[in-house]
Structure 1
């Protein structure tokens, strides 16, 4: 099979397409013929060495959609349409930038009951499963609530926006780019704010008692301001660090954390673990919502398999609004 291999840290040019032997799945694994996969910043971090030195060849990629080749336990049948995300891909095992991938069975989701195209399905797993964890599991969102999405133009931010609207929430989306305002409105945002660092006073003009929940994608630079927009017993879930390392210096529990508010961090490494079995995920429901037009697609561009380096360059430029995917 052909796969992208990283042998040393560096720029997009270190992604080398090579021939690798196909792997046989073990008893707790499933082999999948990859039809498409989404791109994520964590793959840039892996490629560039931000997660540590690359001491052995790495196949990057943390998500994919495709057809089952073999499941030794017979839980999934050959040819079944499935999605996979996380489960140690690109760290403990080869990732999804390949024609085939072997993954943990616990990290496979049945998608047979949808006719959505491969490239549209590829935009779903990592982004929407992360949003499921942050909004449903960490923040326990409910219809009618207000939600602030800080960093809404990222792929996971657009997923949060479309999912929250489908769940009946009122959404305030932020962006630093005025030229992206209209796109966020098209995706369903009730309000779009230009983020220059301090938004809490403006948000409290519209919501004097504070907002119910917030999703923090930007990171430590905006977190204190995001917290100040919350109502008592409201919560913020941190899922991103677009502005740098997720380190808060001299965080004051009384001054920086408003009364009775909740601060949590949701890592997608929980996906597929006993704490978050993927059989409970809403991924198939989301596919149906997009299929029927009840939710808009967040896919912004599809690349061919030989264009992965170009796709990485676009992702690093921050010019993409939504999810980039690769189709095989």
Structure 2
């Protein structure tokens, strides 16, 4: 089968489309012919050699994909050949075929085509699972860093659907306007003193929950931005892995810091998260309360261009590789 090959760690230029063995489903797995593959920042980290897949899983890039069931393992009960599915993967999405455990597949939302759906599940699962960890509730203030990206765009709308006040940061007026169009109540340029701007906009309250993609670079500022009892959830490390944490400030606020990775969770947890997405998020999309992100569709053979676009930092919304 055709797959995107990473011969050695490096920039987008190391990506090549070549041949790889077609995976065979184990008894509890499903083989899917790929229609679209979501492109995520985790893929860039893996391409650079900084985010290896869990032991025993595919070395091929790709944490989410959509497609049509080709074959099923002997113990699979839910799926049949010909079913349209969306998958949450530990790897393997940048290929003509992929395999996934039965519980990590869900049908696409009604009214959403398979290409758009190929960039939905990892984003939705990331946001929903982490808001569950943080215990976000109606009436609270949620701050989302990177609001113009795929995760940010979804998180803004999910927070609004939950009845929260949503603040976000982004790096240009174009991106800030994108955030406002998708429901952000407070949109702040991160080149400014965004902590002070957040405090002013919330009458000194700050963020009850903060969803962070930056890591070390923003750690101290994030803690400063928390309200009393606030919860910081770190899901990305674009700003580095080692930072300084003011424990005195965190203690004074009765705050907490969580760091999670969806990719390394056990299969049973991932299956539970996928069920939660299908039961709680898909209806919000079908009702129009959450809109799918603006997307850039790029042919599968041009995976290198997709990574160049995401590396460049100017993209708004989601990038999806479309298979022939």
TM-score by length of 2: 0.89
Q: Offset at 1:281? A: 1.9
Counterpart in the other structure of 1:145: 140
Q: Equivalences for 1:1-328 in 2 at 5 Å?
A: 1-51=1-51, 58-72=59-73, 73-75=75-77, 76-86=79-89, 88-89=90-91, 95-111=92-108, 114-136=110-132, 138-196=133-191, 198-207=193-202, 208-243=204-239, 245-249=240-244, 251-255=245-249, 258-271=252-265, 273-276=267-270, 277-283=272-278, 285-328=280-323
Please give the per-residue CA displacement for 1:152-190, whole angstroms capped at 9, x wherever unaligned: 223211221121122221101111222311111111111
Q: CA RMSD in A?
A: 2.2
Q: Which runs of 4+ in 1 moved over 4 A?
A: none
CA contact (8 A) 1:32 1:101 kept: yes
- The structure in which a higher percent of residues are helix is 2
Range with greater deviation from structure 2 (12-21 or 269-278): 269-278
CA contact (8 A) 2:45 2:51 kept: yes
Q: Offset at 1:256? A: 5.1
Q: Offset at 1:230? A: 2.0
SS of aligned partner of 1:254: helix
Please give the per-residue CA displacement for 1:199-234, whole angstroms capped at 9, x wherever unaligned: 223322233233321111222222222222222212
Please give the per-residue CA displacement for 1:53-94, whole angstroms capped at 9, x wherever unaligned: 9xxx942111111121122223211112222123x32xxxxx
Quick one: structure 1 residues 119 and 246, their matched pair in 2 at CA, closer, same or farther if it must change by over 3 Å? same
Q: Offset at 1:284? A: 5.7
SS of aligned partner of 1:143: coil
Counterpart in the other structure of 1:92: none
CA contact (8 A) 1:199 1:226 kept: no
Structure 2: any 5+ residue segments left out of the alignment? Answer: none
Q: Distance in 1 between matches of 2:187 and 2:242?
A: 27
Structure 1: any 5+ residue segments left out of the alignment? Answer: 90-94
Quick one: structure 1 residues 271 and 169, their matched pair in 2 at CA, closer, same or farther if it must change by over 3 Å? farther
Q: Distance in 2 between matches of 1:307 and 1:52?
A: 23
Please give the per-residue CA displacement for 1:36-62, whole angstroms capped at 9, x wherever unaligned: 111011111211222379xxx942111
